[in-house]
Amino acid sequence: MAHTCIHWFRKGLRLHDNPALMAALRDCKEIYPVFILDPYLHNNTCVGINRWRFLIGALKDLDCSLKKLNSRLFVLRGKPEDVFPKLFNEWKITKLTYEYDSEPYSLSRDKRVTTLAKEHDVEVIYKISHTLYDIERIIEENNGKAPLTYNRMQALLKTLGPPKRPISAPTMEHMEDVKTPYSENHEKKYGIPTLDELGQDATALGEEMFPGGEQEALRRLDEHMTRTGWICSFEKPQTSPNSLSPSTTVLSPYVTFGCLSARTFWWRLTEVYQGRKHSDPPVSLHGQLLWREFFYTASLGIPNFNKMEGNPVCTQVDWDTNPEYLAAWREARTGFPFIDAIMTQLRQEGWIHHLARHAVACFLTRGDLWINWEEGQKVFEELLLDGDWALNAGNWQWLSASTFFHQFFRVYSPVAFGKKTDKNGDYIKKYLPLLKKFPAQYIYEPWKAPPSIQQAAGCIVGKDYPRPIVEHEVISKKNIQKMKLAYAKRPKSTAESPSKKQGVKRKAPSVVDMLKKKSKVK
């Protein structure tokens, strides 16, 4: 007997490489494509206006693509646990399909919805298509633990082989015997929300740099894939955090919302690499997708992954509570132009380069302000178009040297780091036009400019632009010592003889270093 199905879109806002949607269309007479505005996920505190705009764009594009298949998108409002029982009854549903999502809230929500579905005699089918791999399998392969290093991750993936190939989007042939019953007043009942309905002030919006949606995602993917030389020589650490236009693909928002399948991206890259010399993970574009996989795996295998407390791999640090510092960082008024420019770009455009994220994250946490990484995590979640639960938590732990990365003595300078790729400070001038008349010599540290130069620039530090809120050279050294202390308090998994051999070990590394350098000749 043919089914009456709901396909539930959450992430995975696309038709291509959507195995759960294809499962819905098998033996199907009626399909209801559904998206639910869940007050838990979509409240105003964790979703900024740029992310709302991206989501609305993605939903519009989805509805547009579904129309071409004689179907429509049904947008509902409310808790999924409340919405589904009504839909099951009203539409006489027999099958529910969705894409697997490993976020803790999603897992608990989907469990509750599955229970409700069973009570209504609704068959539930879910498929894995948000990540390259079944990340539970990766954890199994590592004896039940998430790998904590990229190397280990790569070794595990080697045993699993390459990711599955993506599947095509449904066509009219798949829809031959399938209908979507929608009425004249569909827009009124199930329409896509406007910014206004969501309580957002649309007049506050800037130019839309990255419009949401699957069609836009695939168009951008195609465009990038034509740049074969660039793709093959791509090395993430060599790309610039402060170029005036993005030095990377910025496909991340599309992958985050599932407008673009990670597997589609992966295999398109494989095609470009084919028969050509190319860079490799971790720095290559394949490598970037594997980093995503790495953090997804960690987020599933490590409890309380988005918190310090109760997180077994996270170094417990006595971060300060300092609302003034936090507000200065969030609102781009730290007095360090490089930091403030990045935070301005983040708020305006919803995207900043990965290394720019490093600079501001290090500054907020272990580098300068000594504020808990969870505070930064919240701000990024609100403002980043590619704000992803797992990647955001993982990268904040990385940058704060809480786990994954442990060389806490390597601190980014809020002055020096940006100069490497933008000596003139053009990036700063773009996002902080107030400072645009400062000569290059002072653009990264305007407080050092003599009064006459400040006057000539039309910007007096301490009046028009803030003085630096901390003295980086001093505070970063203090903070390194505080990190050392926090590390010393870490519970040791193996019993070790502590201080005995330390005096000897001090000298040894220099010999090791010398040997290392000899072998590093390229």
Partner DNA sequence: TTTACGTTGTACTT
Partner DNA sequence: AAGTACAACGTAAA
> Is 110 annotated as belonging to a binding site?
no
Which class for 504: exposed (0-12), middle (13-18), buried (19 or more C-beta within 10 A)?
exposed
Region at 192 (left for phi over 0; alpha for psi -120 to 50; beta for the rest) = beta
Q: Is 384 annotated as a binding residue?
A: no
Q: Is 416 in the site for DNA (CB under 7 A)?
A: yes
Residue 188 or residue 506: which is nearer to DNA going by CB? 506
Flag whether 291 is marked binding: yes
Q: Is residue 441 close enough to count as binding DNA by CB under 7 A? A: no
Counting every residue, how long is the chain?
522
Q: Which amino acid is at 504?
A: V
Nearer to DNA by Cβ, of 112 and 354: the residue is 354
Is 316 known to sit in a ligand binding site?
no
Q: Which is nearer to DNA, 194 or 481 (CB)?
A: 481
Told to check if 29 binds DNA by CB under 7 A, we report no
If we measure between CA atoms, which residue out of 288, 300, 289 comes closest to residue 163?
A: 289
Tell me the closest approach of the beta carbon of residue 153 to DNA, in angstroms. Answer: 9
| Residue 415: DSSP 8-state | T
Q: How far is CA 225 from the centre of its chain?
A: 22
- Beta-strand relationship, 28-37 and 74-77: parallel
The distance of closest approach from Cβ of residue 84 to DNA in the complex, given in angstroms and rounded to an integer, is: 38
Question: Nearer to DNA by C-beta: 158 or 188?
Answer: 158
280 makes contact with DNA (CB under 7 A):
no
Residue 212 binds DNA (CB under 7 A): no
| Residue from 117, 355, 390, 428 in contact with DNA (CB under 7 A) | 355
Smallest distance, DNA to C-beta of residue 283, A: 4
Determine if residue 76 is labeled as part of a ligand binding site. no
Q: Which residues within the stretch 486-505 sit at the binding site for DNA (CB under 7 A)? A: 487, 490, 493-494, 496-497, 501
DSSP for 367-402 reads ITT-B-HHHHHHHHHHH-TT--HHHHHHHHHHHTTS
Taking Cα atoms as reference points, which of 17, 18, 43 lies closest to residue 33? 18
Task: Out of 2, 46, 107, 155, name the contact with DNA by CB under 7 A.
Answer: 155
Q: Are 385 and 351 in contact (CB under 8 A)?
A: yes
User: Interface with DNA includes 406 (CB under 7 A)?
Assistant: yes
Annotated ligand binding at 252? The verdict is yes
Least separation in angstroms between CB 398 and DNA: 6
150 binds DNA (CB under 7 A): yes
Number of residues located near DNA, criterion CB under 7 A:
56
* 118 burial type by CB count under 10 A (0-12 exposed, 13-18 middle, 19+ buried): exposed
Q: Which two tokens stand for residue 171?
A: 């066509």
251 is in an annotated binding site: yes
Q: Locate tokens 């994220």: which residue?
A: 357
CB < 8 Å & 24+ apart, contacts of 80-83: 80/8, 80/36, 80/38, 80/109, 80/112, 80/113, 81/109, 81/112, 81/113, 81/116, 83/36
Asked if 417 is part of the footprint of DNA (rule: CB under 7 A), the reply reads: yes
Query: Is residue 232 near DNA by the rule CB under 7 A?
Result: no
361 binds DNA (CB under 7 A): no
Amino acid at 271: E
By CB under 7 A, residue 408 contacts DNA? yes
Binding residues: 248-252, 288-295, 386-388
Residues at the interface with DNA (CB under 7 A): 147-152, 155, 235-237, 282-283, 287-288, 291, 313, 354-355, 358, 398, 403, 405-413, 415-417, 420, 473, 480-481, 484, 487, 490, 493-494, 496-497, 501, 508-510, 512-513, 515-517, 519-521
